[in-house]
A and B are shown apart, each in its own frame.
Chain A
Amino acid sequence: SQTIHQWPATLVQPVGSPLSLECTVEGTSNPNLYWYRQAAGRGLQLLFYSVGIGQISSEVPQNLSASRPQDRQFILSSKKLLLSDSGFYLCAWSPDRTATDTQYFGPGTRLTVL
């Protein structure tokens, strides 16, 4: 069966520091991968998605970036964190590229920027 991992689970970082969040998927190949940010009362905001190695689409312009160095690995990064980057970051994957696709979510990373 497929599983999705995210780490770290929680992170406290100072403003201006770099960020690297990692997401890996097991038990499937060539998944579609997604990064979301979940803010209280604001739902899920899609940040990036990827349909293959090295292929990244950005949905929201900001100081975050994403990379997909391997088929089942998705990384969210920042060179300099802002206070507004605090939030709950979710990685997700889906098997196909159809409108009926179910998304499968990871456990999330709680990021606090101080």
Chain B
Amino acid sequence: AQSVSQHNHHVILSEAASLELGCNYSYGGTVNLFWYVQYPGQHLQLLLKYFSGDPLVKGIKGFEAEFIKSKFSFNLRKPSVQWSDTAEYFCAVNPSGGSYIPTFGRGTSLIVHP
């Protein structure tokens, strides 16, 4: 079965700092990859996803993620964070051709200080 590791459990940044949240998965075949975000008081929602094509995926609010197959990684990045990016971020993986139910990582709590 696949698994997902998010190495950074808590990240604290100042506004305008660059962000990179790590996500690694364990699965030998083709995968679909997701980042979800949960802003304080809001529903968990999709930030971006990759399932084929360009490995650099752009999502909402200036976020992007790069799928590096050789490293089994799908790290989330943003060049300059804002206070409003304070949230919990979850990486998820779903093997192609398998179950339609993704496996989620433990999540990373991001706090951005103004």
Contacts and interface: CB of A to CB of B under 8 A. Distances in A.
6 tightest CB-CB pairs across the interface, nearest first? A43-B106, A105-B44, A44-B104, A100-B51, A99-B94, A97-B100
Interface residues of B, number: 25
Given A41-B9, A43-B90, A43-B107, A99 B100 contact: yes
Which among A34, A43, A90, A106 has the highest number of chain B CB atoms within 10 Å?
Answer: A43
Contacts of A101: 94, 100
Interface in A66-114: 90, 92, 94, 96-108
Interface of B: 6, 9, 32, 34, 36, 43-46, 49, 51, 90, 94-102, 104-107
Given A44-B104, A98-B100, A104-B43, 13 more contacts: A41-B107, A42-B106, A43-B104, A46-B101, A90-B44, A99-B51, A99-B95, A99-B96, A99-B97, A100-B49, A101-B94, A102-B46, A105-B36
Contacts of B105: 43
B43 A105 contact: yes
Interface in A1-59: 4, 32, 34, 41-44, 46, 49
A96 B94 CA distance: 14
Nearest to B103: A46
Contacts of B100: 32, 94, 96-99, 101
A90 B45 CA distance: 12
A105 B105 CA distance: 16
